[in-house]
Structure formats: structure tokens, C-alpha cells
């Protein structure tokens, strides 16, 4: 065998697609999109009812998709529970509007004073038996109506802690 016979025949290499082919595809796509857009805009002049109907249909479809929500399971809301309080019963204080477990419940000397509550003075923030920790045991003594709602405030007597025996008013929703 000669060296010429041992030599493998050359492989033919396929030419790679050139960038000009890619550029022509992009140009063709741009021209097609431009033609569609111009025909859609010409529809506005030739048949405005169809043009604006199509826009309204797309908008309605978007609103429907956005309002349909996710997988259908919605989280349950866990807000304050309004319970029927009874005079003489023991309850605990629980702030209805706070997620912080260290939040306190405001007790005031007269019903309705919570609405005008302002603790800008140091004495209002650190006064004795004005801010009770959540979970403090209280007994309900009386009720007061406010703002067209019956039993909006409850007069309570503190049953434990440093303020045991103190009587004050609290929002009824803060008593659980």
C-alpha cells in the first residue's frame, strides 16, 4: 500500500448559514409585522366598528384574565371576632387591630375618650394602668353605646397583675 492509498478522502464541510440569512429573516419578520399593523390601522378608517370592537374585546379579555385570580384557593381572613359579652363574665384583653403580640390595649376613664386619644404627653404613655398587656384577665361590669353601635365600650375590672381591681373602659372589640 502506498501512502496515497492510506490517505483518507477529505470530508466535505457544509457551509454554515451566514448572518445574511438571519438578517433577511429578521427583515422579513419586521415587514410582515409592519404589514399586519398597517392593515389593522387601515381597518380604523374603512370599518371603525370592527376596529374598536376588536380593541374592546382585547380589553375585556385582559380584565377577565386579571380578575379570575389564581388557583381558586383564597386565604381566609382572620380578623377580630365580635363576641356577645356578658356582664360578670371573665375575658382577656386582645388588641383587635394589632399583629404585634407585645401591643397593649388602651384603658380610659370614660367611654368615648379613646376616640380623642392622644399620647403625646409622657404621662399618657407611661401612666399607671392605662396600657394593659394583651392576655390580661378582666371582668365586664357595664356597657356603653357609641356612634350608633350598641355595646361599643365595656367597663372592665382588671382581675390580675399590678392593676388588679382597677376599673376602666375599653373598646368591646378588644375583649375576647
pLDDT in tens, 3-43: 556 656 565 555 555 555 667 888 888 888 888 888 888 88
- 8-state DSSP, 93: B
Domain region containing 46: 19-67
* Nearest by Cα to 157 from 146, 149, 148, 165: 165
> Would you say residue 75 lies in a domain?
no
Question: Residues 52-99: pLDDT tens digits?
Answer: 998 999 999 999 888 876 665 655 656 566 678 889 899 998 888 778
**Are residues 158 and 99 part of one domain?**
yes
| pLDDT over threshold 90, residue 161 | no
- 8-state DSSP, 12: P
Number of structural domains in the chain: 2
What pLDDT sits at residue 158? 93
| pLDDT over threshold 70, residue 105 | yes
> Would you say residue 6 lies in a domain?
no
Burial of 66 (0-12, 13-18, 19+ CB in 10 A): exposed
**Are residues 151 and 114 part of one domain?**
yes
**Are residues 63 and 94 part of one domain?**
no
* Nearest by Cα to 156 from 138, 174, 143: 138
**Are residues 144 and 106 part of one domain?**
yes
Q: Give the global pTM.
A: 0.51
Amino acid at each position: 500500500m502506498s501512502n496515497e492509498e492510506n490517505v483518507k478522502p477529505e470530508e466535505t464541510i457544509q457551509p454554515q448559514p451566514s448572518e445574511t440569512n438571519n438578517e433577511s429573516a429578521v427583515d422579513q419578520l419586521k415587514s410582515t409585522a409592519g404589514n399586519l399593523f398597517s392593515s389593522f390601522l387601515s381597518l380604523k378608517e374603512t370599518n371603525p366598528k370592527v376596529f374598536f370592537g376588536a380593541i374592546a374585546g382585547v380589553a375585556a379579555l385582559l380584565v377577565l384574565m386579571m380578575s379570575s385570580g389564581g388557583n381558586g384557593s383564597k386565604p381566609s381572613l382572620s380578623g377580630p371576632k365580635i363576641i356577645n359579652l356578658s356582664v360578670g363574665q371573665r375575658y382577656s384583653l386582645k388588641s383587635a387591630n394589632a399583629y404585634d403580640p407585645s401591643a397593649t390595649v388602651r384603658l380610659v376613664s370614660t367611654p368615648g375618650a379613646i376616640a380623642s386619644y392622644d399620647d403625646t404627653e409622657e404621662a399618657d404613655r407611661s401612666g399607671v394602668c392605662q396600657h394593659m398587656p394583651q392576655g390580661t384577665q378582666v371582668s365586664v361590669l357595664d356597657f356603653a353605646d357609641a356612634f350608633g353601635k350598641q355595646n361599643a365600650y365595656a367597663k372592665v375590672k382588671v382581675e390580675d397583675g399590678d392593676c388588679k381591681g382597677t376599673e376602666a373602659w375599653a373598646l368591646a372589640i378588644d375583649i375576647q
